[in-house]
Every structure is written in C-alpha cells, then in structure tokens.
Chains A and B, each alone.
Chain A
Amino acid sequence: MTTITTPRGTATEESVAGPSPARTRPRIRGRTVPRGVRRLLGPLLFLAAWQIASSTGLLDAQTLAGPSVVAKTGWHLVQDGTLGHHLWVSLRRALAGLVLGVLAGLVIALVSGLFRLGEDVLDGTMQILRSIPILALTPLAILWFGIGEEVKIILVALGCAFPVYINTHAAIRGVDPRFAELARTLRIGRIGLVRRVVLPGALPGFFVGLRFSVTIAWLVLVVSEQINADSGIGFLMTQAREFSQTDVIVVGLAVYAVLGLVSNGLVSVVERRALRWRPSFEGN
C-alpha cells in the first residue's frame, strides 16, 4: 500500500510546471488583449444582457428600466439641472459631515493618545459609544435637531468620527518606543517628539480610518436622505419610488457608485503622497 503508481506522473508535472503561453495570455485572432479591456468584458456583457432582456420585454420597466432608458433619463436629469442640484446638495452634506467627523475623531484621538488623563477619560467612552450603530441614533437625532440639514450632517459626522478615532488612537499607541528613546537621546523635547515621531508614525493608521469614514459617510447619507429630506440624491430616489420610476432610481444608484469610486480614489491619491516613505508606495 505504500507504493503509489503514477503512470502519467511526468506528463502532469510538465503541465503544471510549464503552463502554455496560450493559458497565461488569452489571444483573440493572434492579438494579446490588454488586461484593462479584459476586465471591462464582464460589465459590458452584463449591460448587454440587461438591455436585451429589457428590449424583448423579458424585464418590464416597472421592475427595472433598461440601460438605454436609464441613460436617456440620466441625460434629461443632467440637462434640466435636477441632477446637478441634488448632487450638489448631497455632496455638500457628505463633505461637511466628513470634515467635521474626521476632525473630531482626530482631535479626540490626539488628546487620548498623547495625554494619560485624556486616555483615561475619553478612550473608555469612545469604546462604548462605538458599539452603537450610528443609524440607530436617527430617531433621537431627529427629535433633537429636527429634519433640516443639521441632522444629516451630524449623523454623517458621528459615523465618520469613530473609525478615525479608533485607528488613529491605536496608531499613536503603536508608535515604536525605540523611536521615543531616540528622540530622548537627540533631545528634541516633547513637542519635537510629537511633531517628528508620533504624528508621522500614526499617519498610516489615520488613513486606514479615513478610508472607512469615506465609505461610512455615503452610507449614512443615503439612509438619512431617504428618511427625511426634500433634496439630495437620496430624496430623488425616494420620490422616484413613489412614481415607480425605476430609471431614476438606477440613475441615483449610478451616481452613488461614481461618488464612492471618486472619493476613494481621492483618498488613495492623498495617502500615496503622504506615505510615500513607505516601501510599498515606492515608484508612484
């Protein structure tokens, strides 16, 4: 039973060790297809199938409008300024909430990370508060702030503050103590230590938090705009629901997708610049 016979062992090994060029590089009529184009293939096929299903009546417009209708509706909404108006409103809310929340999270993280007393007072509180899902605060927030702009900005800010706090605080605590020791031998003082060692050392952690915050900002905004608003992308979609305008709803979804992509891309660009000392970011 100990002998294992592999009659075609050599052949198998060969096929594993040396994959044929055809397998690593798919060719269409002898030309290599660039990777970017290949990655677009999936979404394009999906769009085509969707369009065919809509055109043949397989998918009725009440359930989901077809891509061509969505595109046409989107174009109209752009032309009459509706989309621009609501987009601007949503963008302003998200940005205001994000800036407020990130600043608050950052300041609390610094106080708690740099001062023992600050840590004792703030960290426990923050750790308890973070376990509350932010959207569960919506009813209370409406009672306190009404249904105006403040509620939405405050909810977004609350959602954004925690990821920044948690990650920045952990990063400050995690700064290598050997660098603090070095700072002592170089006599750069406490301010020098914070400015030259602690803050730059905590920056990667801050960016991790910021990425979460950007995602959460859109999430919280979508929900709060759908609950109570008379403007914004979320309002546009809620209104469309009442008239069963699935095309407008899909336009709203597309706008959210683009906003998410663009904001994440912006954070990446800033992060790359700020952390270019990291070996993984070299060559950029």
Chain B
Amino acid sequence: MATELRGQLAAGAATTVRGLVRAFGERTVLDGIDLTIRPGEFVALLGRSGSGKSTLLRILAGLDNGAGGKVDVPSRNAVVFQDARLLPWSRVLDNVVLGLGRSERGRGERALEEVGLAKHARAWPSTLSGGEAQRAALARALVREPELLLLDEPFGALDALTRLRMHALLRELVARHRPSVLLVTHDVDEAIVLADRVLVLTDGRISLDARVDVPHPRRRHDGEFASLRARLLAELGVQDDSDASVNDALASDGVSEALASDGSDSEPDTDSPEPNTDSSGPNTDSSETDTHGPETDTSTSENDTDSEKQT
C-alpha cells in the first residue's frame, strides 16, 4: 500500500519516517513511528524481542512493502543481518563485491583489508569463524559506501569477546566512512557504547528517544553511563541490579584490555541485559525480565568456540 510513498533521497539528506504503520493480520506491530536520522548520525534501536525492531529495519531496507506511512531513505543503503549471510559458494571477496562491477574488485580488497580479512579474500565462507564472517558482511556493506547503514543485531550471535572487538571495529569504520547508522540491538550496553542516540521501541511506538552524552571512552562505571543504562532498562521493563562488577572494564570501551587478555581461558562476560531469546514470541517476555546472571547470555554459550585470531 505504501510502496509509492517510499521515496529515495538525494545524497546527504536525512532518513525520515512519518506515521509508519505495519500490521501482520490482526496484530499491529508498528503503530505510528516518526523518526529522523540525520546524515552521519548513529542511532541505536532497543526493544524487547518481538517488539518490531527488525520489522522497522526491513521496511527501511526496502524488504517489506506492506507498510503504511511515509518513508524516505537514502538510495545508497546497506544491511548487515544477524547471520552474516555470505553465499557459501562464492569466495569471500566475491561475496563482498557481489553486484558490483568487475572494476570494483580493488575496492572490495581494500574493504576486506579494513576489516582485517585481507588474507581471507580467496577463502570459502565456511572456513570463517562467526566473527570473521560478520566482518566480511560489514565489508560487503561498506564497500557500497552507504549513506545509511542498517544493522540488525549484527553481533547478537557472537561470543562476548568477539563482540567487544566488533564494537571497536564498527566505531572505527563508522568514524571513517560517516554513514548514518541504525543499529538494532537488544543489548543496552552495546547501544550506549556505540550510539549518538538511543531509541526504545515499545508497543509499536518510540517510547524513549535519548541522546547519549557520555564522553568517549564510554565505561560502564561512569555515572552518566550508569544512569542512562538504568533509564533504558527501566523503559524496557528490566530491573537494573548490576553493581559494578569485575567485568565492567570489558563491557565498556576497555577493548584494549580485552585484546590483551586474548588467549586466556577465562570467559569475560558482558552483562547483556537480556538473554538472546529472539526466537521467542512476544508472550515470553518474562524470560527477558529476568536479570542477567553471568551465564544467562545464551549467545555466549552457543558460540564459545568462535574465537578469533586477529583483529
């Protein structure tokens, strides 16, 4: 119904969403979303599992034509999904330059270099670790020089240590390429560490829209970080009972510490506010309101074999 309303913007323009509505059958998932993402702005979108975060991102990516309202998106946009979605039958470099002209292979190689995968250009995707595959997916998005980068829980399936490395890498890449970013995540800390602005999606609407004024490097034990964190968790209906723990340094910008401890057997634990239960339906939210014990992060336990050798 709204395909004709989906505009493609000229270069340098903002991404705007006005009165966006999306229903699946009886269930209205998005119920009047208004959103503007300025050029170069990094916006994180938080919300419980099933709240419609992916639905919103898919509409912006042009993957869902069943929505009502007005959506204006830069024509050059790129998506990174939670699964790296590399074509298994194409080598890594061919995946990165998929759909680009033959003359663009050099740019693909440079993009792989940027994400530290230059040596894997001719490798098959099945030989990459989870983190490496996700870096290749990032390279595939960045090589298109997107004005809007759409990230749907891109680190959700990675182990905690790899995730921290990816945060550092993403910050570096975004600083260099300056796209607008919409990062969908269920990880409050990830949102605060990375974003300029954090949104919370509740019952189909943006229920909270907060600037992140915490100075870099952002550490979880900083007062501003902690208070914003508490606010966001409260908005998500989760009780914040995390006292400053030993892992605080890891959970914030203490990536250098994390790198230094590479190879040790200890499993650092980023206190993710919710276990990663994305497959659960909207009615199982109670499991997410559970507070985060050190071992409840399912994404960590699922992928603990996925360690990385280089950055």
Contacts and interface: CB of A to CB of B under 8 A. Distances in A.
Interface of A: 178-179, 181-188, 192, 196-197, 200-201, 203, 275-279, 282
A203 B85 contact: no
B66 interface: no
Contacts of A201: 89
B88 interface: yes
A188 B98 contact: yes
A196 B62 contact: no
Interface of B: 61-63, 78-79, 81, 83, 85, 87-91, 98-99, 124-127, 140, 144
B88 A184 contact: no
Given A184-B63, A192-B99, A278 B87 contact: no
A271 to B, nearest CB: 13
A200 B63 contact: no
A203 B89 contact: yes
Contacts of B98: 186, 188, 196
**Chain B's interface: helix, strand, loop or mixed, by majority?**
loop
Contacts of A179: 85, 87
Contacts of B144: 186
Contacts of A282: 124, 127
Nearest to A179: B87
Given A184-B62, A277-B126, A196 B83 contact: no
B260 to A, nearest CB: 33
Contact of B99 (A178, A186, A203, A278): A186
Given A184-B62, A185-B61, A188-B98, A196 B79 contact: no
A179 B91 CA distance: 15
Contact of B85 (A178, A196, A275): A178
A284 to B, nearest CB: 13
B126 A185 contact: no
Contacts of B140: 186
A183 B61 CA distance: 12
**Chain A's interface: helix, strand, loop or mixed, by majority?**
helix
Nearest to A182: B85
Contacts of A200: 87, 89-90
B181 to A, nearest CB: 15
User: 3 tightest A-B contacts by CB?
Assistant: A188-B99, A200-B89, A186-B99
A184 B98 CA distance: 11
B91 to A, nearest CB: 8
A183 B81 CA distance: 13
A275 B140 CA distance: 23
B73 to A, nearest CB: 12
Contacts of B126: 277-279
Nearest to B83: A178
A187 B89 CA distance: 19
Contacts of A203: 89
Contact of B79 (A185, A188, A275, A277): A185
Contact of B90 (A184, A185, A192, A196): A196
B99 A277 contact: no
Contacts of A184: 62-63
A52 to B, nearest CB: 53
Contacts of A178: 81, 83, 85
A277 B87 CA distance: 10
B63 A181 contact: yes
Given A192-B99, A277-B126, A185 B87 contact: no
A279 B87 CA distance: 13
A155 to B, nearest CB: 35
Nearest to B80: A185
Nearest to B137: A182
A184 B79 CA distance: 10
A77 to B, nearest CB: 46
Contacts of A182: 81, 85, 87
A185 B89 contact: no
A23 B280 CA distance: 51
B87 A197 contact: yes
Nearest to A187: B99
A276 B63 CA distance: 32
A277 B89 contact: yes
Contacts of B91: 277
A188 B261 CA distance: 42
A181 B88 CA distance: 15
27 contacts: A178-B81, A178-B83, A178-B85, A179-B85, A179-B87, A185-B61, A185-B62, A185-B78, A185-B79, A186-B144, A188-B98, A196-B98, A200-B87, A200-B90, A203-B89, A276-B124, A277-B88, A277-B89, A277-B90, A277-B91, A277-B125, A277-B126, A278-B88, A278-B126, A279-B124, A282-B124, A282-B127
Contacts of A186: 98-99, 140, 144
A198 to B, nearest CB: 11
A67 B86 CA distance: 56
A277 B124 contact: yes
Given A179-B87, A197-B87, 19 more contacts: A179-B85, A181-B63, A182-B81, A182-B87, A185-B61, A185-B63, A186-B98, A186-B140, A186-B144, A187-B99, A192-B99, A196-B87, A201-B89, A203-B89, A277-B89, A277-B90, A278-B88, A279-B124, A282-B127
A189 to B, nearest CB: 8
A214 to B, nearest CB: 23
A188 B99 CA distance: 5
A191 to B, nearest CB: 11
